[in-house]
Structure 1
Amino acid sequence: MAEKNLESLFHDTLKDIYYAERKILKALPKMARGAQLPELKAAFEKHRDETEVHVERLQQVFEIFGKRPQGKTCPAIEGILEEGEEILDEYKGTPALDAGLVSAAQAVEHYEMTRYGTLKRWAEELGFKDAAALFAQTLGEEKKTDETLSMLAKSAANQQAKAA
């Protein structure tokens, strides 16, 4: 049996976020189609493009680590995305849909931020400076997306839902 250490934990977590990003990549177009606010639709479309780059960066990290890119089923992201699907179904056509979609998207962003923050720290500990830099770049983009979503919630989506 392989030794369970920080390096193996790093690799497992890398596979987890790789799986998650690929699932998110598939979910974002559906969220964009469901969004009613043009700004929210645009934010989802922009983040889809960013997520493609995130997947490419993860593939680079696998290469740095000397491993083949491979996902590992992530029950956490499955559950978060399932909640987003429920919001799309249950609130379709209502003024509360966009507020719900923002909430679901922020749950995804917060999951990603925790993973990227942890992977960055571990990459530094393990001496993978190039990988740490890639994680830092993605982490910054995830935080910016979260800030954009918060702004959209405050400026429009929550007000729309409340006014109805």
Structure 2
Amino acid sequence: MAIKTIEDLFIHELSDTYSAEKQMTKSLPRLAKAATDEGLVAAFEAHLTETEAQVERLEQVAEVLGIKLKRIKCEAMEGLVEEAKDTIESIEAGPLRDAALIGGAQKAEHYEIAAYGTLCAMAKSLGYKDALPLLLETLEEEKATDEKLTILAEQGGNQRAAQKAA
């Protein structure tokens, strides 16, 4: 698809973000299974439920705007998912892997925060008043998830990994 207008760009970004979220729904169960810290497992499982709702919300945005989502693959998320697979394969289960999983998950959250921030800005510019609240809701969820991951790391995840190494 040739992108020639801001509307075209919005549709492309919406479709790319949809792909990213779909990839996350497949990756999160793998992350939960690979984690050993109960709090981290619970965080991944809770975010899976949230991500499934975010996928539905993106479908709602497309429906409200009368947009057909494009079949594209988010290469950025694909790379982040691949990094997570490498982490799981290369680091033994335990606190060090948990610390790496938190870091990888935060990379994905930061990507999603940027994506939703961009979509919100475009939706405002385009006057998509019905879509904006849906996008803002997800943006806030992504920020909250990032904060939860930071708390998990600061409340002992990184310290347990450091102690294991000593």
Cα pair 2:11 2:69 within 8 Å, conserved: no
Aligned counterpart, 2:15: 15
TM-score w.r.t. structure 2 length?
Answer: 0.95
Say which SS state the counterpart of residue 96 (structure 1) adopts: helix
Q: Which residue is 1:105 aligned to?
A: 105
Q: Partner of 1:153: helix, strand, or coil?
A: helix
Q: Which amino acid aligns with 1:155?
A: Q
The match for 1:35 is 35
Which residue number corresponds to residue 26 of structure 1?
A: 26
1:58 corresponds to 2:86: no
How far apart are 1:92 and its partner, in Å? Answer: 2.8
Alpha-carbon distance, 1:157 to partner: 1.3
State the alpha-carbon separation in 2 of the partners of residues 25 and 112 from structure 1. 13
State the AA in 2 paired with 1:127. G
Q: What residue ranges of structure 1 are gaps of 5+ in the alignment?
A: none
SS of the residue 1:67 aligns to = coil
Q: Does 1:95 align with 2:59?
A: no
Structure 1's consecutive aligned runs of 4 or more residues displaced over 4 angstroms after TM superposition are: none
The alignment covers a number of residue pairs equal to 164
Q: Give distance in 2, aligned partners of 1:119 and 1:37.
A: 34
Match of 2:131, SS?
helix
**Counterpart-to-counterpart distance in 2, 1:5 and 1:87:** 39
Shift in alpha-carbon separation, 1:17–1:3, aligned structure 2, 3 A: closer
Taking the aligned partners of 2:78 and 2:3, their CA distance within structure 1 comes to 28
Contact 1:112–1:142 (Cα < 8 Å) also in 2:
yes
Q: Which runs of 5+ in 2 are unaligned?
A: none
Q: How much has 1:71 moved relative to structure 2?
A: 3.8
Q: CA offsets, 1:30-70, max 9 Å, x none?
A: 00011110000000000000001000000011112212344
